[in-house]
């Protein structure tokens, strides 16, 4: 993962532990004070939220412990690899798209960040500027040309 993706996970973990978890505990305490727990919907909802938060904390901690951080700014390659920002041009309508290949936890299509394990990224990996590729899309098979590959943090 990139340093930015790693930092985002650390920030999420800090927020979960220092803000979300204490609020859930307070909500649980409040619900408990309302009496009979067997018929207390607030208590059940608070317990469910607590289970979700604790599971997410464990998940983020595990991801952080397994993370391999790659400083993209130090990569020098003319090929598409992890961290590359790739510009591709649709051969049919000549419209360009720019994608950055990132780790699974960083992928965000709205920000044009593509998971390195996605089908589209797998087609791009190893290619160089000028190569033509075929990708299956919802509209069928499309041909693209790689017009730029760069690395920046």
| CATH fold for domain 72-150 | Chitinase A; domain 3 (3.10.50)
CB 74 within 8 A of CB 3: no
d(CA 3, CA 1): 7
**Coil, helix or strand at residue 38:** helix
How does DSSP classify residue 39? G
- Provide the pLDDT for residue 36: 64
Percent of the chain surpassing pLDDT 70: 95
Q: Which residue has the tokens 């510009």?
A: 87
- Provide the pLDDT for residue 32: 78
Mean pLDDT value across residues 65-75: 83
d(CA 5, CA 121): 18
The structural domains of the chain, with segments of one domain joined by +, span: 3-66, 72-150
Q: Is the fold of 3-66 the same as that of 72-150?
A: no
CATH 3.40.630.10 fits 3-66, yes or no: no
- The pLDDT tens digits of the residues spanning 97-122 come to 999 999 888 898 999 999 999 988 99
d(CA 51, CA 83): 35
- The pLDDT tens digits of the residues spanning 31-57 come to 777 766 667 678 888 889 999 999 999
CA atoms within 13 A on the CB side of 12: 19
């Amino acid at each position: 993962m990139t340093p930015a993706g790693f930092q985002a996970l650390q920030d999420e973990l800090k927020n979960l532990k220092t803000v979300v978890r204490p609020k859930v505990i307070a909500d649980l305490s409040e619900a408990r004070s309302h009496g009979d727990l067997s018929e207390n919907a607030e208590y059940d909802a608070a317990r469910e939220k607590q289970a979700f938060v604790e599971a997410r904390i464990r998940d983020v901690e595990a991801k952080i412990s397994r993370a391999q951080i790659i400083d993209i700014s130090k990569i020098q390659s003319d090929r598409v690899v992890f961290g590359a920002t790739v510009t591709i041009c649709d051969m049919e309508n000549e419209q360009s798209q720019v994608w950055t290949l990132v780790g699974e936890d960083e992928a965000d299509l709205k920000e044009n960040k593509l998971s390195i394990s996605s089908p589209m990224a797998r087609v791009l990996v190893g290619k160089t500027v000028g190569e033509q590729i075929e990708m299956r899309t919802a509209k069928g098979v499309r041909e693209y040309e790689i017009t730029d590959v760069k690395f920046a943090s």
